[in-house]
Amino acid sequence: MKIAILGWGSLVWNPGDLAISHDGWHSDGPLLPIEFARISGHGNAPPRLTLVLRADAEYVQTQWAQSSHEELARAIDNLAAREKTVEAKIGYLKSGSDSMGDRSRLTALAGSDIAATEGTATAANVLDRIDWWREQQGLDAVIWTDLGSNFEERHGSLSRQNVVAYLRSLSARGFAAEEYVRRAPRQTRTKIRRLLEHDLGWLPTPASRIGPDDPSFQKEWAECRTTIGRLDTILEDLRKLGFSFITALLTAGAILSFLGIQSVDKVPVPPAPTRAAPSTAAAPASPTPARLLAPALSEPSLLRILPESCSSASRWTSRSKRGAISYFGRTARDGVGLADVFPRIQPILHPRGGGWVV
């Protein structure tokens, strides 16, 4: 028998001896009318304003956990022991073909003094909601703490002024009342809670860390293991794909070699074009073609084709003999032999008859 336990207050963050499965609490419980409307505290326990079912309350999302017990009677006894109450204060609803009254118990709303209005919840529609949710979840039974409101009996109407004044008086005696409000599940957003956040600054506390003893620890660990396993599967598939790709390339290369098709790595690379070493001398601003130099290489003609800045023969030769040889080497490529050029310019380059120096 699959039995769900509904929770909306301290039962969620402090289950105590409540026997629930390792899955812990789930946040998709049925929508129920819940409000901070019951003054609790027995014996040495400090008083608090706790969450209970209330007819005129707003509907909020509750939480649920599966009981470790498979018998309804044992699950009810376990919840009653945790809540320090009697079995008759534990509500339940089970599956079956009997009428709703024969297979359920809900007393928190039955004796309410709240006037029935269009938005007021009744025991009948609350049980219908729980029964519909039970069927959707595939559960056999649902149990919950069936305690009603008692604030009006002790402190008057459940108004903003009365509630804030009462909780301020409790704050002077300890932290229990504030802790209960702060640690209530965040999704339990009731009207009174919004007022307390504004007037007293009692905002929800951050979620507590999950430890090895927490029922949610095993669930979180199982999810981590599932995620790691999924990533391992993806990496293994990538390795297989990489090996298949390399095998395909090697096979294609072998087939091309067998057919005599030249592969890319065997195609000869054309030689890089060679370039002459740069000359250290400045190139002529307007070089004269060699064919104009060939007919007459007299001193006046040669001096005309030399750079204007080097019109003095002795100055020009002292700055660069290599430049002259390089220049007239170009004339040889144009059809003029060096043997015809050098004898004629030697007296100009070396008026005193010096030899060539390269």
What residues contact 196, with CB distance under 8 A and at least 6 apart? 36, 163, 164, 167, 181, 202
Report the range of poorest mean pLDDT among 85-99, 113-127, 248-262: 113-127
Q: Which tens digits make up the pLDDT trace of 258-307?
A: 887 765 555 566 666 666 555 555 555 555 444 444 444 444 554 454 44
Residue 351 has pLDDT above 60, yes or no: no
Helix, strand and coil percent figures for the chain, each rounded to 5: 45, 10, 45
Domain residue ranges of the chain, discontinuous segments joined by +:
3-208, 212-245, 290-349
Among 292, 285, 40, 245, smallest CA distance to 145 is for 40
Report the range of poorest mean pLDDT among 179-183, 246-250, 261-265: 261-265
In angstroms, the CA 166 to CA 47 distance is: 11
In angstroms, the CA 182 to CA 169 distance is: 17
Q: Which tens digits make up the pLDDT trace of 3-24?
A: 999 999 999 999 999 999 988 9
Residue 252's pLDDT is: 86
Residue 214's pLDDT is: 53
CB atoms within 10 A of CB 192: 23
For 65, the token pair is: 């956990």
List, in sequence order, every beta strand (DSSP E) within the chain: 3-7, 31-40, 48-53, 59-61, 63-66, 90-94, 104-105, 141-145
Residue 306's pLDDT is: 45
Mean pLDDT of 145-157: 91
Mean pLDDT of 201-217: 64
On whether the CB atoms of residues 78 and 47 are closer than 8 A, the answer is no
- β-bridge pairing 3-7 and 31-40: unpaired
Residue 146 has pLDDT above 90, yes or no: yes
Residue 242 has pLDDT above 50, yes or no: yes
Residue 246 has pLDDT above 50, yes or no: yes
Mean pLDDT of 190-212: 81
Mean pLDDT of 196-224: 71
Among 299, 304, 298, smallest CA distance to 284 is for 304
Q: How confident is the model at residue 202 (pLDDT cuts 50, 70, 90)?
A: very high
In angstroms, the CA 91 to CA 144 distance is: 5
Residue 178 has pLDDT above 80, yes or no: yes
The DSSP code for 67 is B
Residue 205's pLDDT is: 84
Report the range of poorest mean pLDDT among 30-39, 179-188, 247-256, 330-339: 330-339
In angstroms, the CA 291 to CA 247 distance is: 65
Residue 74 has pLDDT above 80, yes or no: yes
Q: Which tens digits make up the pLDDT trace of 26-57?
A: 999 999 999 999 998 766 778 899 999 999 99
Residue 332 has pLDDT above 70, yes or no: no
Residue 302's pLDDT is: 47
More confident residue, 138 or 351: 138
The torsion angles phi and psi of 50, rounded to 5 degrees, stand at -110, 165
Q: Which tens digits make up the pLDDT trace of 222-231?
A: 778 888 888 8
In angstroms, the CA 327 to CA 344 distance is: 15
What residues contact 29, with CB distance under 8 A and at least 6 apart? 6, 7, 8, 61, 62, 63, 64, 133
